Chain A
Amino acid sequence: MNTIFSNNPPGATEILQQKCIAIAGCGGLGSNAAVALTRAGVGKLIIADFDVVETPNLNRQHYFQSDVGQKKVATAARHLKAINPDLDLTTHDLRLTPENMSPLLGPADLLIEAFDRADQKQWLIESWSALCPDKPIVCGNGLAGLGATNSLKVFQAANIYFCGDAATESSIGLCSARVAIVANMQANVAIELLVKGSAS
């Protein structure tokens, strides 16, 4: 067993190594969630994003100055592989749509929703729920502004898990810590669902 995970909770690594998580979007939520899931020992990740790294992204997304101008999925792949070279990683450099998501994301055991726009979040939730009703989708919902840490919650409806405050919109600004908290809430919920079968 890879010694990277020697400090993991007993029994968790063996389960996570057999699991596949898809991440739709590699921005503030997706890039941070991907790092957390990789560090936790998830065996396989599928990541999808069409965008390139831009300087303003660096206030919250897991990229660096040397990544600016490069494709997000390719850059994320380098960072994730630098954590765990044995990670089974599939990247999709494209814009996800209701029409193409099935073959790309369907093989996953669980989906992390990490889109930016609310209309995109909505179609992804509806499409995944119709395509894979028995597989969880863990969404980032309401992560803008500063502070108000206690307002960040996990809310479950069917197999949909919402992480955030369900209120703040990105128009008020996005800050590193709050975005990362929600991204890591998503990763934590995903890990718990896959290891324990339910989330508390």
Chain B
Amino acid sequence: MTVADALKAMNYDFPLITVVLNEKPIPREKFDATTIPNHAIIKAIHICHGG
């Protein structure tokens, strides 16, 4: 399963999202190419407008 697959499975359809896989940030352009290893910890954060 890739990062993109995981986001789709979780219905994370936020237009802007930061993903950290095993404490390593994954750039958006690599979501399709990054495979999630077994027992990985993945964090997905919705990025909001405002500041």
Contact = CB atoms under 8 A, between A and B. Distances in A.
B20 interface: yes
A6 B33 CA distance: 53
A125 B20 CA distance: 11
Interface in A155-200: 155, 157-158, 160, 162, 164, 166-171, 174, 179
- Interface size class on chain A is 35 or more
Interface of B: 15-18, 20, 23-25, 27-28, 43, 45-51
A118 B47 contact: yes
Nearest to A178: B50
Interface stretch (A14-22, A24-32, A79-87): A24-32
Given A141-B45, A158-B25, 7 more contacts: A27-B51, A118-B16, A122-B18, A126-B27, A130-B25, A142-B48, A158-B24
A94 to B, nearest CB: 17
B45 A116 contact: no
A29 B51 contact: yes
A118 B49 CA distance: 5
A117 B18 contact: no
A39 interface: no
Nearest to A140: B51
A133 B24 CA distance: 9
